Chain A
Amino acid sequence: MNLTNYLVLATILFTIGALTVLVRRNAIVVFMGVELMLNAANLAFVTFARMHGDLTGQVVAFFVMVVAAAEVVVGLAIIVAIYRTRRSASVDDVNLLKS
């Protein structure tokens, strides 16, 4: 088996994550889509590390996880804050950008 399979899997997961972000309207699900995309990237990093015989890829994946954790904390806080004021967790309700 070739390591390409891992990369293809990562790509597919990434695409599904992106699709989730595009299609779903529940902010929490959208957020999970983002997490899925990050995880797909991590998988690619780990595969690259193995491919090149260099642990740096794993370290980068590690940092991605940490940053993702921070992001989740802030993101969920925002969702909660929005939910409190608008009584909704739908991203479509947050459309004040439209004039």
Chain B
Amino acid sequence: MTTALGGLPAVLTAAGPASAVAPADGALGLAWLLVALPLAGAAVLLLTGRRADRWGHLLGTATPVAALVVAVAMWVALLGSSDRVRELELGTWLPGGAFSVDLGMRVDPLSMTFVLLVTFVGSLIHVYSIAYMAHDPHRRRFFAYLNLFVAAMLLLVLADSYVLLFVGWEGVGLASYLLIGFWDHERPNAVAAKKAFVVNRVGDIGLIVAIMAMVAVAGSTDVGVVHEAVGAAGEGWATLIGLMLLLAACGKSAQFPLQSWLGDAMAGPTPVSALIHAATMVTAGVYLVVRSGPVYEAAPTALLVVAVVGAITLLFGAVVGCAKDDIKKVLAASTMSQIGYMMLAAGLGPIGYAFAIFHLLTHGFFKAGLFLGAGSVMHGMGDEVDMRRFGALARYMRVTWVTMALGWLAIIGVPPFSGFWSKDRIVESAFAVAGTWEPWVFGTVALVGVGITAFYMSRLFFMTFHGTRRWDDGTGVVPGGEPTGRVDHPHESPALMTWPMIVLAVGSAALGGALAIRGAFTTWLEPVTGHVEHHEPVLPVVAIMVTTFLLIAVGVVLAWRQYAAAPVAVVPPRGSVLTRAARRDLYQDAVAEAVLMRPGQYLTRSLVFADRQVVDGAVSGVARGTAGAGELLRRLQTGFVRSYALQMVVGIVALVVVVLAVRI
């Protein structure tokens, strides 16, 4: 530590005017607008109050669209330039003598990809929300929070220093908290928001510690400087920083063991689930890991841990997804699982970075599409979320059915839809990773995950749109079960909701293939991830592919047999041990409660006890002693003037005696 600090000025001078990186000019100089526009939107919407109720949603939608326009302009400018890594200096933010933090933005293919994803998907979801939230009295506030979220997310991905990234990181967390608890007049929603906030704080500790370690090692938090310095600082520091960054990523991306908040976060409005818990916020962890690639290069152990965490979460999410009946919770579990894929890919090292981001991009599209589809179904079904109450909806909502079908095919990895191009590469890379046992373990996990994904997503799709009708259409006849007493009139959602779904469905279908042509996306990301030659997988590529297709087919067929061809019970059957465990999120809350909450409560109670008995005891003991002394002295206060005079005389006599004694 001392040596690291001692070497601080040297590092600073070595880092120099932090730029071997080219400055961002032209359209790229507008990067700050990306953050400023939605932020201004949020500020205006929040500050003008109810006066903005009539036009608030329009302004709230306009800002991300404007940001999208700026982002596209920047993208075009970046494509036309040979120097793809740019730095936009906005001034010094925290001048602190030897240590200072610059306010700057890093424009490179990685951040550009995120910017495009966030602004594009974000804009669509804003549009969708106009209709979805049309009847909510607080729609303006909702749009303000959405804008705040977009601004924070863009700041996160554009930041050129980890401290600035942290600001965006926290902003995302705040916006997420506000949006999950948007309907906080219902207690479970407020609790879910609180849970998400607290779990995210645990991850934030990791980021803070990592930043402190960076300051100790590099004397700076600038991304470029840190990456150079960490390589030189030795594996110990790199492992520490890597693991701490992983902790942060786990918190934000709902990875094991900090995954518990994501399921509950579905308490928020559906567009929030689509925007935050599918397309953008939860991907921040993957972004952080990929962005910090050089750190993990210097720390193989940390990298392995990333892969392991990804693998565990992948299976965890998949298993949970198989058992849930709440359509949004299935999608949340699926998100967890898919991000597990991304983490796994990122944990494979440079060969996986590009595929992690690629999958992140395609996932952003199809998962947003699926969520919006789920929102559309709920919209048509009177906010019902239990899939056991759906069934045979395909006839009633054609557009939703088609768009969700495309998203479904994409996520389970059927060629030629997006998911195939990205996920298949991750499976291949998992088999191709260097090591003795790693390729087999990670490869198998990824393969099994593909099969389970196919099963639970098909389950969702079939339970919702096919099979028997399990809701009351007003005739009183419910083929699949007992009437609930509620009559549903499923209908297609308005155009403002369907159009974003259509756009996303097109993306789900075609984006992956388009970007995979001649490895266009990997090449685009090379300035950040570096060029890596692939190892040969331990199994032939063809064998892997065939196995993948077989597993997908098995999963879909199983789901069809169980949930489309056969009747689905309205009341969930008891199920096996595994099913029951999965329904309860594999006892994640119980474990957290037993491992963390109860000991914490006992600790608190014992501290309270100690505080009461020891600290308060001492304090009140002093007080009681004083009071007792006062009680004794009170006896002297008779209220009779003569008593006081007597006391005076006592004093005088004593005084005179003392004077006399001194004189003699």
Which positions 3-35 of chain A face chain B at CB distance < 8 Å? 18, 21-23, 25, 30
Q: Chain B, 605-639, contact with A by CB distance < 8 Å: what is the 0/1 string?
A: 00000000000000000000000000000000111
In order of increasing CB-CB distance, the 6 nearest A-B pairs are A98-B639, A95-B639, A97-B639, A91-B641, A95-B640, A21-B645
CB of B649 within 8 Å of the partner chain? yes
Which B residues are in CB contact (< 8 Å) with A59?
Answer: none
Is the CB–CB distance between A22 and B649 below 8 Å?
Answer: yes
Chain A residues lying within 8 Å of B638, measured Cβ to Cβ, are: 95, 98
Checking A18, A30, A91 against B649 with a beta-carbon cut-off of 8 angstroms, the contacting residue is A18
A window 80-99: CB within 8 A of B: 91-92, 94-99
**Can you list, as one digit per residue, whether each of B628-660 has a CB less than 8 Å from chain A (1) or not (0)?**
000000000111111001100100000000000
A contact residues, range = 10 to 19
Report the bound CA distance from A21 to B643 in whole Å: 10
Q: Are B642 and A92 in contact, with the CB atoms below 8 A?
A: yes
Residues B637 and A91 in contact, CB atoms below 8 Å apart: no
Taking CB atoms, residues of chain A closer than 8 Å to B637 are 97-99
- A91 touching B639 by the CB < 8 A rule? no
Bound Cα distance A44, B641 (Å): 27
| Set of chain A residues within 8 Å of B642, measured between Cβ atoms | 21-23, 25, 30, 91-92
CB distance from B627 to the nearest CB of A (A): 14
What B residues does A98 contact at CB under 8 A? Answer: 637-640
Contact partners of A23 in chain B: CB under 8 A: 642
What CA separation (Å) do A98 and B642 show in the bound complex? Answer: 13
Whole-angstrom distance between the alpha carbons of A97 and B634 in the complex?
A: 12
- CA distance in complex: A79, B641 (Å): 14
Contacts of A99 in B (CB 8 A): 637, 639
Which chain A residues lie closer than 8 Å to B645 at the CB level? 21-22
- Residues of B with C-beta under 8 A to A95: 638-641
CA of A98 to CA of B636, assembled, Å:
10
Given A18-B649, A22-B646, A22-B649 in contact, is the A96-B641 Cβ separation under 8 Å? no
- In the complex, number of A-B residue pairs with CB atoms less than 8 Å apart: 29
Interface residues of B in 574-589 (CB under 8 A from A): none
Shortest Cβ gap from B642 to chain A (Å): 6
Counting chain A CB atoms within 10 Å of each CB, the highest count among B637, B645, B646 belongs to B645
In the complex, what distance in Å separates the CA atom of A21 from the CA atom of B641?
10
Residues of B within 8 A of A25 (CB): 642
- Show 9 A/B contacts (Cβ-Cβ < 8 Å), sorted by A: A18-B649, A21-B645, A22-B642, A92-B640, A92-B642, A94-B641, A96-B639, A99-B637, A99-B639
Write the chain A residue with the least CB distance to B646. Answer: A22
A33 and chain B: residue at smallest CB distance:
B645
Given contacts A94-B641, A98-B638, A98-B639, 18 further A-B contacts (CB under 8 A): A21-B645, A22-B645, A22-B646, A25-B642, A30-B642, A91-B640, A91-B641, A91-B642, A92-B642, A95-B638, A95-B639, A95-B640, A95-B641, A96-B639, A97-B637, A97-B639, A98-B640, A99-B639
Once the chains are docked, how many angstroms separate the CA of A25 from the CA of B645? 12
Shortest Cβ gap from B645 to chain A (Å): 5
Determine the distance from Cα of A95 to Cα of B639 in the docked complex, in whole angstroms.
Answer: 5
**In whole angstroms, what is the CA distance A46 to B66 when docked?**
104
Instruction: For residue B265, give the distance in angstroms from its CB to the closest CB of chain A.
Output: 61
A99 and B630 CA atoms in complex are apart in Å by 13
Chain A residues 49-99 with CB under 8 Å of chain B are: 91-92, 94-99
Minimum CB–CB distance for A5 against chain B, Å:
20
Q: For window 364-399 of chain B, which residues contact chain A by CB distance below 8 Å?
A: none
CB distance from A75 to the nearest CB of B (A): 13
A21 CB contacts on chain B under 8 angstroms: 642, 645
Task: Tell me which residues across on chain B come within 8 A of A18, comparing CB atoms.
Answer: 649
B contact residues around A94 at 8 Å (CB) = 641
B639 nearest in chain A by CB position: A98
Query: Measured between C-beta atoms, what is the minimum distance from A97 to chain B in Å?
Result: 4
Bound complex: CA A94 to CA B645 (Å): 14
Max chain A CB contacts within 10 Å: which of B638, B640, B649? B640
Report chain B residues within 8 Å CB of A96. Answer: 639
Chain A residues with CB under 8 Å of B640's CB are: 91-92, 95, 98
**Distance of B24 from chain A, by nearest CB (Å):** 78
Across the interface, name the chain A residue whose C-beta is closest to B652. A18
CA of A18 to CA of B650, assembled, Å: 12
How many whole Å from A65's CB to the nearest CB in chain B?
A: 23
B637: nearest chain-A partner, CB-CB = A98
Task: A34 to B239: give the CA distance in the assembly, Å.
Answer: 90
Q: How far is the CB of B560 from chain A (nearest CB, A)?
A: 89
For the complex formed, measure the closest distance between the CB of A41 and the CB atoms of chain B, giving whole angstroms: 14
B164: min CB distance to chain A, Å? 65
CB distance from B646 to the nearest CB of A (A): 6
Q: Closest CB-CB distance, A59 to chain B, in whole Å?
A: 26
In the complex, A92→B640 CA distance in Å? 6
Name the A residues within 8 Å of B641 (CB-CB).
Answer: 91, 94-95
Report the minimal beta-carbon distance from B652 to chain A, rounded to whole angstroms: 9
Residues of B within 8 A of A92 (CB): 640, 642
Tell me, in angstroms, the Cα distance from A30 to B642 when the chains sit together: 9
Give complex CA distance A23, B645 in Å.
10
Closest to B644 in A: A97
Distance between Cα atoms of A84 and B637 in the complex (Å) = 26
A15's closest neighbor in chain B, by CB? B649
Closest chain B residue, CB of each to CB of A94: B641
CB distance from B284 to the nearest CB of A (A): 67
B649: A residues at CB distance < 8 A? 18, 22
Q: Compute how far the CA of A98 lies from the CA of B641 in the bound complex, rounded to whole angstroms.
A: 10
- Complex Cα distance, B637 from A40, in Å, reads 30
